[in-house]
């Protein structure tokens, strides 16, 4: 079963996003997606399963000294938001049965040794396409080339903080079924294809404007 999934989306739970759950689901439908991973900053989404026909994979995005890690498939997390050692994040993710993805790794991927190092850490995949990446045309080629050469599973996600960019990058996952567990297992096994385009400067400006409006409205 080939599923079209945006594996990197933030909602208002992330605090720097203006997307509500309903908006995320409706935009996913418009873009022809089968599902979304809600990768909130430092705290997991509590939504799991189907919402109006769209598969929701709960997760979070953690900050480590070496970069950002997506932890997919969890709706609980014992750590508070804030920077954490990479090995702490990976150990806890493994204990919970989550999939770990190195998010937007460029420009680190300019070094072949980096990707070999990532593979050796036990990370499940690398996000080779990220729509929010300022250097998308270059970073995508570099990331794809190295991940393909080293046989590292690949994902793609929009890294959306505003509704309209959802689905700008997505992963096609060849899963046994449309369940969270089967999707995660397919990612681990590298049964993925990646597609996408950058969101661009206009989306970045729109994100800032919408966040300011949301902040002002919350103070009224």
Q: Give tens-digit pLDDT for 52-89.
A: 999 999 999 999 988 899 999 999 999 988 999 999 99
* Mean pLDDT score across all residues of the chain: 91
User: Residues 84, 116: contact at Cβ < 8 Å?
Assistant: no
Q: Which residue range is the domain that position 94 belongs to?
A: 2-219
pTM over 0.85: yes
The 8-class DSSP code of residue 217 comes to H
- pLDDT reading at 44 higher than 70: yes
Question: What are the C-alpha distances in Å from 153 to residues 59, 99, 126, 150?
Answer: 18, 11, 6, 9
Which CATH number does the domain housing residue 40 bear?
3.20.20.140
User: Residues 3, 33: contact at Cβ < 8 Å?
Assistant: no
Q: Give tens-digit pLDDT for 137-168.
A: 999 999 998 888 888 899 999 999 999 999 99
User: Residues 68, 87: contact at Cβ < 8 Å?
Assistant: no
Number of domains in the chain: 1
53: left (phi over 0), alpha (psi -120 to 50) or beta: left
Phi, psi of 24 (to 5 degrees): -60, -45
């Amino acid at each position: 079963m080939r599923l079209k999934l945006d594996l990197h989306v933030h909602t208002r739970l992330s605090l720097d996003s203006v997307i509500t759950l309903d908006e995320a689901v409706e935009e996913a439908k418009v873009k022809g997606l089968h599902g979304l991973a809600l990768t909130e900053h430092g705290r997991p989404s509590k939504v799991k399963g189907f919402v109006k026909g769209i598969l929701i994979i709960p997760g979070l995005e953690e900050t480590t000294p070496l970069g950002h890690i997506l932890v997919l498939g969890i709706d609980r997390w014992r750590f508070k938001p804030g920077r954490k050692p990479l090995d702490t994040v990976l150990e806890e993710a493994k204990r919970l049965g989550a999939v770990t993805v190195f998010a937007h790794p460029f420009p680190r991927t300019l070094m072949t040794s980096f990707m070999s190092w990532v593979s050796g850490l036990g990370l499940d995949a690398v996000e080779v396409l990220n729509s929010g990446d300022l250097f998308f045309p270059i970073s995508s080629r570099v990331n794809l080339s190295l991940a393909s050469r080293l046989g590292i599973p690949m994902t793609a996600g929009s890294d959306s903080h505003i509704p309209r960019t959802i689905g700008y990058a997505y992963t096609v996952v060849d899963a046994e079924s449309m369940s969270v567990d089967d999707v995660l297992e397919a990612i681990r096994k590298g049964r993925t294809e990646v597609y996408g385009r950058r969101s661009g400067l206009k989306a970045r400006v729109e994100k800032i404007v919408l966040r300011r409006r949301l902040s002002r409205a919350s103070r009224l």
